[in-house]
Structure 1
């Protein structure tokens, strides 16, 4: 008989000595019973390859009537297999006969292989016996089934792990997953082999038909050495949630001038991914591109930009998202207004103050548009009667954001009868240079006083006559300090005092 290495799973023990019964002229025995597989599982077919030998010193053939495999001992007779009418064995010849059996339960099996024959020389009956001990154990590769959270009507995923803890390689491994109340969209995986102490993973996909509990059953079929096929199963219970739809849109105007658009945030608050998401917008006064998102996972936000072509400065817009949720087609909308008013600079809060022979003009460069104005510069226009003066002939304001303002002040000198001072404002909007001119009214500067020095012989006392001198000197000092400060701040080297 063939013995394998010592194994934990199953062990076959057969008699080490053949049992022989010799008639008057026949000397025969069961020389070997080879059991395959040596470590069977419950329900697995076991083959008993029986070799019957008629020894050379026999004087007559041995006629084989039956060969059977039976349970040894116990009450009653349990016979697993019998083969009949096998013919005769001449002296010095052998006969090999396979018998098969399977066992429904695990445990130790005490068996006998029995040959029923007849001595062709004497006509007497001959019976040969061979003991076989077989240990049947429920032993398969370990199978684990894992399914991700699932929602009714929505495809979900899972995987089957096959861990081979046997003492031999398994081959032709097939994993099939079936479900109760679920549609299997991927159910079968095949692996050529899994070595001992190694594992393989088989992914699957499924779609529950309804909310509630469902069963998933993984059946693993495989082959071990000797082309022995085995099958084992594992079943789990899953809980599928009802489908919940909750998708929102949030819009923000972006860009400036002709490059206007909408940034749309698609927030998926559903408990399943949304797919084939088409984001579009419609308006009577503007046209928009549309954008496709393949998928937005649950509890996730994706942003897209819809570029706009506007026919009017204002457009009332309806933004729409069409998408697939489970097996249903859904839609959600949002309303917004898109304006395209380019940045425009206006001079506001103007104030004119006369300082000696100069005019200080202060105010704010105010952006009354909806886009930023860049490189804003306020300058005094040089004319026959108006001359830009230090310390600020012009004032670089810089960037004025939409609906915001930045203060400035410039200086000018006038000659003759002048009622206004022209100021020029230049700035960039959407990379386009804009130029505007404003006339600042300087009539009615009432309340703006000029300091005049009085003659020393004007009749005042010495104390009174010295007071204007001190006042004038103080004012001059203040002017010098102010000019120096402005020079430091504005970097203008041409200072007139």
Structure 2
């Protein structure tokens, strides 16, 4: 009897130790098979941490890849949850390399007053420098917002909010101005201006005839800062019976261009394909990208990409007769902010027997982006026809582009 009692206590102690260990692992917030790859939510900004019910606020987490290795982190989903469910979600944000970060604005509003305990969750896939999946990660970050009921003593004025990420000098940066109408009557004859108090901006006045009661509307602007430092934005709204304004300062970074291309030969049955992957490591979008490769034998199939945003990547697959385990000299031409750039590099062409998942076209982009996560890898045989068409069109586009450029 005494031995059974001692065994029971020992079993309970073992169970408690396991629970504590599991809790410690869960609290770390990062699940990774490779400790050298670190992805964190380094900061979260809240446009208004004491809003009133019905106000739209923007919660912006900064996702940072602090690894010193050559691996990358593909962000598959960022969610904002709390108050009984999911409040906001964005998906397929692209890839960030080591030392890079990305801001992810999430907009939401609250129907009830009180202290809100929210959670930002970042999900993604860690890959090494060879594009091999190392782990599927999840990072959580707590956010606290205090929501109050609107005052009933006087009708609320229209509210303005400026949403903008950090800008890059000499390139276009989108800015969104949100107008909220919490009044009991509609707003009429809306006129909105966006200016900078310390730089020149060329923007046009936005007009809207009516904004209904307890409703919001958004006005989109493209700004092009002239110099680095900060730019102080001011949004001014005039209606038939009100005039309000708000301000926000954003950082303006110097332009940094860095475009890398790798190549892989993929074989299945008697078919062979050359897969180019372009990674934009700069801090501004690149446009009209063309890549042409040559080896000791002659030219390799060319590739044409559309717009590739900063900290994003795209993949183009074309038919080829090129063998793996060779070296390609790649010449890449692209545009940033209306200026032309080019880069040259030598890459070792690796081989892979992995199949490619079906391509999903991104808006306004001629290139296709493929997901190589374990859960989405499918057979290549069902996509051979589509890849042949894509490769033919990409090659013809590059040939026509180069002939036009050379004046032929």
TM-score (structure 2 length as normaliser): 0.42
**Which of the pair has the greater relative contact order for Cα pairs under 8 Å at 6+ separation?**
2
More helix by share: 2
More strand by share: 1
